[in-house]
Amino acid sequence: MLISAQHFEQKNQYEQAVLLYNKCGQQSKAIEMCFKFKLFDKLKSILEDLKELEDMNMLKKVADFFMSNNEFEKAVGIYLKLGQTVEAMNLIQSHDVPIDDEMADLLTPELGSMDNEKRNEVLINIGKIAKRQQNFALAAKKYTQAGAKLKAIKALIQVGNLEKVITFAQTARDAECYILAGN
């Protein structure tokens, strides 16, 4: 397989060479080729195939490569794999990277990992980003986790699901939530 990979590399068929290098366990060679020939999708698939994140420096290098080539969504994914949520959050905000439920959950600090006030700030920030991207259901979820009931019900109202708004208002047991739900 290694000989085949080298053959494809010599014939300038880099995508096939990268696949074969990866399959025969030479991930670093495959990753270097992805850098050299800007094979973004192949690089992303190699990283998804990795079972363990052994070489953190290589992953950091990959994230920097994605950033320098304006592949911000892929860079965010790498930062999240590295556990560098602050860098991921900065990229999401500065380059308007679309945020989904899985990404938001990875950005959410674990309970007890920091003081509640700081955790709530992070949750509200995620909610604001989701709301700005018109993902009102995710925004409502994050606002609810932060205990910001009014922001959560306002986001739920934007979703347009009347049943969820009423259920939330009943669960929240807050006068202002009742008024917003009633209107």
- With respect to residue 148, please indicate whether it lies within any of the assigned structural domains: yes
109 and 183 both lie in a single domain: yes
Domains identified in the chain, total number: 3
102 and 84 both lie in a single domain: no
124 and 170 both lie in a single domain: yes
The residue ranking higher by pLDDT, 52 or 125, is: 125
d(CA 67, CA 70) in angstroms, rounded, equals 5
144 and 114 both lie in a single domain: yes
- With respect to residue 156, please indicate whether it lies within any of the assigned structural domains: yes
90 and 103 both lie in a single domain: no
150 and 171 both lie in a single domain: yes
**Which of 60, 77, 94 is the endpoint of a domain?**
94
63 and 103 both lie in a single domain: no
> Is the Cβ–Cβ distance between 33 and 62 less than 8 Å?
no
- With respect to residue 45, please indicate whether it lies within any of the assigned structural domains: no
Would you state the pLDDT for residue 169? 65
89 and 106 both lie in a single domain: no
> Is the Cβ–Cβ distance between 162 and 181 less than 8 Å?
no
**Two structure tokens written together for 39:** 């094979």
- With respect to residue 46, please indicate whether it lies within any of the assigned structural domains: no
Would you state the pLDDT for residue 55? 66
Would you state the pLDDT for residue 180? 66
Would you state the pLDDT for residue 103? 92
Q: Which domain holds residue 156?
A: 98-183
Burial 145-167 (b: 16+ CB within 10 A, else e): bbebbebbbbbbbbeeeeebbee
Would you state the pLDDT for residue 127? 93
Give the model confidence (pLDDT) of 12-37 as tens digits: 888 888 888 888 878 778 888 888 88
d(CA 63, CA 24) in angstroms, rounded, equals 24
**Two structure tokens written together for 174:** 């807050």
Q: How much of the chain exceeds pLDDT 70, in percent? A: 86
d(CA 142, CA 90) in angstroms, rounded, equals 18
32 and 67 both lie in a single domain: no
Q: Give residue 134's region: left, alpha or beta (phi > 0; psi -120 to 50).
A: left
d(CA 131, CA 70) in angstroms, rounded, equals 24
d(CA 149, CA 170) in angstroms, rounded, equals 12
**Would you say residue 58 has pLDDT above 90?**
no
- With respect to residue 3, please indicate whether it lies within any of the assigned structural domains: yes
- CA 154 remoteness from chain centre: 24
Would you state the pLDDT for residue 5? 79
29 and 72 both lie in a single domain: no
133 and 60 both lie in a single domain: no
Q: Nearest to residue 145, comparing CAs of 162, 163, 130?
A: 130
Q: What is the CA angle 133-95-146, rounded to 5?
A: 50
182 and 111 both lie in a single domain: yes
Give the model confidence (pLDDT) of 96-155 as tens digits: 999 999 999 999 988 877 888 899 999 999 999 999 999 988 998 898 888 888 787 787
| Confidence band for 43, pLDDT divided at 50, 70 and 90 | confident
